């Protein structure tokens, strides 16, 4: 399974979209400061995730969520 996830900083001012095979391990890495892009905005909490059995679909959805229209979609839905 591939998981596309959205993280939210505890102050709710920052969001991060990513993809992983292991949600718990990835969230732990974000909160430990091991991910350069998110290290300065933590701690993080998991806002939502979507599981995909097809890796191509997961990658495409992650790419969409990182686009302007995808960010707008995520704000309305999640």
| DSSP codes of every residue in 16-44 | EEEEES-HHHHHHHHHTT-STTTTTT--E
Domain boundaries along the sequence of the chain: 2-77
Confidence tier at 12 by pLDDT (50, 70, 90): confident
> Kindly report the CA angle at 66 between 44 and 16, in degrees rounded to 5?
5
Whole-model pTM? Answer: 0.91
pLDDT of residue 23: 97
Residue 34: φ, ψ to 5°: -85, -5
CATH number attached to the domain at 2-77 = 3.40.1440.10
Confidence tier at 77 by pLDDT (50, 70, 90): confident
pLDDT tens sequence across 26-76: 999 999 999 999 999 989 999 999 999 999 999 999 999 999 999 999 988
């Amino acid at each position: 399974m591939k998981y596309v996830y959205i993280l939210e900083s505890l102050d709710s001012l920052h969001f991060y979209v990513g993809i992983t095979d292991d949600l718990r391990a990835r969230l732990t890495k974000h909160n430990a400061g091991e991910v350069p892009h998110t290290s300065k905005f933590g701690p993080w909490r998991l806002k939502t995730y979507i599981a995909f059995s097809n890796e191509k679909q997961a990658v495409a959805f992650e790419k969409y969520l990182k686009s302007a229209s995808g960010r707008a979609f995520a704000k309305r839905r999640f």
